[in-house]
Structure formats: structure tokens, C-alpha cells
Structure 1
Amino acid sequence: MELRLALCLLFCYATSAEKYVLTTLHTVTKSSCHPEFTAVSFVNERQITRFDSENKTLTPIHAWVREALNDHYWDVYKQTQMSEYARLREELNETMKSLGHIKDVHTFQRRSGCEWDDKTFHVKGFDEYGYDGEDFISLDLNRMKYVPHTPLANTTAERWNSNITLLESQKQYYNTECVNWLKRFGRTNLEQTGNISFYQKKPFTPVICHVSGFCPSALKISWRKDGTEIKKNISLGDVLPDGDGTYLRDISIFSDELNISHFTCVVGDSSRDLSRNSLRFENSNSPSDTQSALPIAILCSIAIFIGTIVCVVGLVCYCKKNRSDPSDVY
């Protein structure tokens, strides 16, 4: 997979609930418009940390990220980014020198990390480099050998493949350390089931289970009746970004059953039972608002009808009285 395509797919990567991916994007550049170096890490689709050469501070994107690592491992993670900063800055200079690009502005990129399946315990690493946005070189983890993807990378491949220390450190990282980082962040932090609410557009229309703040985007959402998953009369909406690295989605069900207490909306390992109290209507604050609106309307109609009859009867009596009054005869 080309580096450019991989970078684009990173943000829409769909993974099952059993697989977790740690990805770090490193960028080093000579451009004066950007920090010389940035390192952004993701777990599945969620950004977890950022480091750049301007403040040299490792910043957690979410509170749970910092809480997942104690001070020792937090410092180790920061030092890892610092070391990569020094290495990639030197490699950019060497690559530019070998290509005769000394006076130009160029960029070196790295996408590295691993995928871990906590059911099968299978681990798959990846380590890809780009130069000015084009595929440059990658590490073949089966052979532990760097493979150039363009003739421009031949010199770099020869230099890296002769560096035994570099190869051993990469082997150690992809065989052990990368997965350990994923385990430290913890499964409970990597999967969030979000908030579950119920509503209808109006009575006798499908009931919608609205789920917000969940992650990853491929987290399973379903309806159950008495504990059994329902397959018919179900409409599953699109997954939409929630603006904070999480997602929202609707799943609706249509049923002519009056007892809605048999139904449950399930999101990952969490669920919420449907009830009259939890169901709201789209244009009201609660079901009782809509339920009470009908009697009020009926009462108003009755009052108007009675008032009209009273007025008509009064008018008729008045007219009869005037016709029978002797004073009106000349």
C-alpha cells in the first residue's frame, strides 16, 4: 500500500472489536512554516498524543491517555519521540545530500506501528517512509530488511541495512514493545460505547435508538427483543463523526407491539432497555407532553362548541322576546 493512500485511510480505518492498531505519523521538514518535527499517535481511529519540536512536550489528547500510563512510561514514550526526532532529522539531511537537494525544502515522513488481535494474539507491524509525499522505503519485517521503492532510496537502503544496531532495535520494537504499548492503553479505553437515547418522530412511527460518543466506528449496534437479536424491520443509519474523535449513529425499529419494554438497544458490551419513560418525541421534551396535548385540544374544542350553542340559544330567545313585545306594535 502506498504511503499516501495509507495516510488517507488512517482516518477512515474500520476495525473489528478484537483488533487494535497503534500508529504514529512522524514528519520532519526544513520548511519554516511548520515545526521541524511532529509526531502524532493514534489508537485505531482516535488521536492519543502529539509531540512537536517547538515545545518538546508530549501532549495527551484525552484525559484517559495520560491516566493510562504512569510517570515512568509517559517519560519513556516522550523520549521515544525525542529519539526519533534526532534520527529522522539526521536522515533527512543525509537523504537530501545524497540526492543533491541541499538548498531546497523537503520533507521526510514515517508511518509506523502495529496491529494486535487480542483474540488470536496475532501481531502485524508496519514501517513505511516517504520523501516529499512519495513512497520512498519500507521495512520488510519478515526479512528484517529495508526495501527501496524508488531508485532514489537505494543509497538510504544500503546505509540502513548495514546498520545492525538499527535493525535490532526495530526487531525488538515490533516483536515486543509496540504491542505492550497497546496493552498499556487498555481495551476499556480503546472501546467506548457512548450514550444511548430513544426517540420517535411521532406516534406509530419507528422507534430510533440514537447512539453518540462511541468508538471505534465499527462498533456493533443492534436491537434485541427478550435477549434475542432482531434482524427484520431494522434500519441502520450511517456512521457520522461526533467532532471529538468519537462517532454517532441511529438504528431504528418498527414494531406494532404495544409492550415496548421487551426491546433493548445494544452497543458493544453495553445496552439500554426501551421504556415509556425513556422514549421521547422529536418535537417535545417528553412523551407526556404529546400524550397530554390531545386531552387539552379536546377540552378546548368542547368549550368552543358549548359556547357557540349558548350564543345561538341566547340569540334565538332574544329575537322571540322582541317579536312578542306589545310596545313594538303601533
Structure 2
Amino acid sequence: MEMKALIGLLLLAGCHGVSSVIYSLKYFITEASGVSNIPEFVGVAMLNELQMGCYDSNSQKMVLNHSWMDQCARDYPDVLKDITLRAQGYYQGMKADIERLKKRFKQTGDVHTYQFMSGCEWDDEDNATDGYGRYGYDGEDHLALDMKTWTWTVLPQQVKLDEGSAARGFLKNYYNKVCISWLKMFLTYGRSTLQRTERPEVSLLQRSPSSPVVCHATGFYPERVVVFWRRDGEELYEHVDHGEVLPNPDGTFQVSVDLNLTLVPQEDWRRYECVVQLKGIEDISILLDPALVRTNWGKTGPGRDGGVKSEITTPIIIVCVVLLLAAVAAGVVVYKKRKR
């Protein structure tokens, strides 16, 4: 659910530094038909990029992910009940929507997905708020909420749907008041977790002698990180490939930035360095020394001294903790890419 933030990172060429944090409360909901071995309905609640809880049609209850969320639920049981009831309502409503859309598009009983991405944002510096709502069907945009008129637009035809003043009033009240108040409430419990800073581990990796050298940073928090390559102190823009910031199972993040050195002689490698910038810590710089590059082709890697010191395999980063979250994440990523 991108809307302004699915993963919350903006990489602008030539512009570094970390902007002020805008807090967000987001919901990722997926209804699937014709898919076995996973729940028919899954909903995930996120505070910024931190998962707070998950609801699925098999368990039919909200599972909380942090001790501070357990405390929040004890202090405000009506809020947890309200969110659970909303999830159950979306389950039944989106299930009916899939059948309606299948008939509309004259589709059979094959696999189909219907997704809803919703959220609100709050800037604690100027108290500005914003929100977003969007539906997607089978990986394509379907409906988008206009936050000015509080009406839905059918995409890509750009047809306006006005469901009446009562519906507009409900949407306006939810996004401007209810969602923002919940966001601020959750933030009072989870602020210490969200505002922590965890220093990344930075490694230089290379799969084969002809592959790009990868600057891999992992284990950092928050997710707003800047990673780039420099040569002789000047930032490089050519032959550099920036990867997406991805979540780790422990709530931290990882990112990789590739540098193609096909035409660069190895004796010139030390002119290059990878730089990692994260709010709250000093810049991390790692020199491109061939002896420091970790490879996965054995003990005879391309070091100036004749090889790397030991055989090290490329790290395998486990992103998904449970199958149902993997299904939701996959659906969201596909939808984001199709949307872009």
C-alpha cells in the first residue's frame, strides 16, 4: 500500500540526509478466492513500518505483536474490539465484492485477489494530517479515495462514485478524527520502539568475479537510510543500482546497493567506498578493499593478497516469518509494482 508510504523511503539523487518523521497508521487487507493453504482473508495493521497486529479468517481474532500493544489493548479494550469488528466487516464485504467483480468481468472461478490499502498520517511538528484509501483487483488499480471530495474514483476510467452525504461524512470523520486519534494513542505506547536507533552491519559482497560488488547494510532502524558509492570522495551515479529497503524478521531493515566494476582494474578498487547514512549515528564508510569483499566462490576470491581469508557464503536474508504474512506482502509488492 504505497499511497505515500509503503515502505517510507525516498532516495533522491544527490540529496542526502534524513527528513523529519511523519507518523502513520496503515492497514493492508487482502481477500483471496481460489487459493488453498492460506487464509481467505488477511489484514495487517502497521504503525509506521512496524507491524502491530494481524487478523485472518482462520483464527478470526486480532493477534498482537508487541508487549506495548498488549498493554494498549488492556487500557483501551473498546478500540481493539472496534478494529476487530471492522476487520470482520471487511472480510464479508470484500468476499462479496470479489464475486461481484468476477461477474462484471465475466471471469471464472480461478484465483482472484481483492486488496484494500488504507491509512492516515500525522506530522507532530506542524500537526498536519493526511490520509489515503485504495482498492486493487487482481493486481490492478480499482478504486481510489479523493480526500478532498470524500468520493471514490473508479480506476483507470476516472469515473466518480458519490455514495451520498452520509458516506462522505463517515469517511471524513474516520480519516480526520478516528484514525488520527488511534494513531496518536498507539504512538504513546510504541514511541520508544519507533524512535530507537540501531546501527547497521555493512558488508561488501560479490557472487562471482564478474558480478557487481554489493554494499549490503542490514540490521538498521529506522528504515530511512541512505546508502551510496563514492570514488575519490565524489558520489557515483553511473553503474550503480539501488535496491529497495526490505524488512528483517526482527523488525529491522536491510538494503543493497550494487556497483558494476567490470571496466575497473582491481588495483583501482581502493578509490571506491560505500557510505551509509542513518539518523542518530555517524556516517559509516567502508573502503572497497578486495581483501574485505566477501565471496561465495571459495577460498580463491579476488584479493590483492591472492584470495579472501576464508570461505564465506552469501547471507540469506529471511524476510517472511509466517506463510500468511508472506502472502500479504507478496500481494502488496505486486500491486505496488503494477501501480508504478
| Fold similarity call, TM over 0.5 | yes
CA distance in structure 1 between the partners assigned to 2:223 and 2:146 by the alignment: 30
Question: Would you say 1:116 and 2:122 are equivalent positions?
Answer: yes
Q: Cα gap change, 1:108/1:242 in structure 2, threshold over 3 Å: closer, same or farther?
A: closer
Question: 1:83-107 CA deviation, whole Å, 9 max, x = no partner?
Answer: 2222222222222222222533311
Alignment counterpart, residue 97 of structure 1, candidates 103, 111, 115: 103
**Residue ranges of structure 1 left out of the alignment (5+ in a row):** 197-210, 221-232, 250-266, 272-330
Question: 1:210-239 CA deviation, whole Å, 9 max, x = no partner?
Answer: x9976422389xxxxxxxxxxxx9xxxx98
SS at structure 1 position matched to 2:107? coil
CA distance in structure 2 between the partners assigned to 1:165 and 1:147 by the alignment: 17
Question: 1:247-267 CA deviation, whole Å, 9 max, x = no partner?
Answer: 589xxxxxxxxxxxxxxxxx9
Shift of 1:61: 1.8
Q: Cα gap change, 1:40/1:241 in structure 2, threshold over 3 Å: closer, same or farther?
A: closer
**Residue 53 of structure 1 aligns with which residue?**
57
**Larger RCO: Structure 1 or Structure 2 (Cα < 8 Å, ≥ 6 residues apart)?**
2
Question: 1:83-139 CA deviation, whole Å, 9 max, x = no partner?
Answer: 222222222222222222253331111111011101111111000111101111101
CA distance in structure 2 between the partners assigned to 1:135 and 1:92 by the alignment: 14
Tell me the TM-score normalised to structure 1 length: 0.56
Q: Cα gap change, 1:78/1:215 in structure 2, threshold over 3 Å: closer, same or farther?
A: farther
Q: Cα gap change, 1:137/1:241 in structure 2, threshold over 3 Å: closer, same or farther?
A: closer
CA distance in structure 2 between the partners assigned to 1:173 and 1:103 by the alignment: 35
Flag the structure with higher helix content.
Answer: 1
Q: Cα gap change, 1:163/1:29 in structure 2, threshold over 3 Å: closer, same or farther?
A: farther
Does the 8 A contact of 2:30 with 2:43 survive in 1? yes
Number of residue pairs the alignment of both structures matches: 220
For residues 139-154 of structure 1, the aligned pairs below 5 Å read 139-151=145-157
**Residue 6 of structure 2 aligns with which residue?**
10
Does the 8 A contact of 1:22 with 1:113 survive in 2? yes
Structure 2: which amino acid aligns with 1:10? Answer: L
**Residue 131 of structure 2 aligns with which residue?**
125
Does the 8 A contact of 2:198 with 2:222 survive in 1? no
Does the 8 A contact of 1:21 with 1:113 survive in 2? yes
Alignment counterpart, residue 26 of structure 1, candidates 26, 29, 33: 29
Question: 1:276-327 CA deviation, whole Å, 9 max, x = no partner?
Answer: xxxxxxxxxxxxxxxxxxxxxxxxxxxxxxxxxxxxxxxxxxxxxxxxxxxx
CA distance in structure 1 between the partners assigned to 2:32 and 2:254 by the alignment: 36
SS at structure 2 position matched to 1:121? coil
Tell me the TM-score normalised to structure 2 length: 0.54
Structure 2: which amino acid aligns with 1:30? Answer: S
Does the 8 A contact of 2:25 with 2:120 survive in 1? yes
Does the 8 A contact of 1:128 with 1:137 survive in 2? yes
Shift of 1:60: 1.2
CA distance in structure 1 between the partners assigned to 2:41 and 2:246 by the alignment: 31
CA distance in structure 1 between the partners assigned to 2:55 and 2:115 by the alignment: 15
Q: Cα gap change, 1:8/1:107 in structure 2, threshold over 3 Å: closer, same or farther?
A: farther
Q: Percent identity?
A: 28
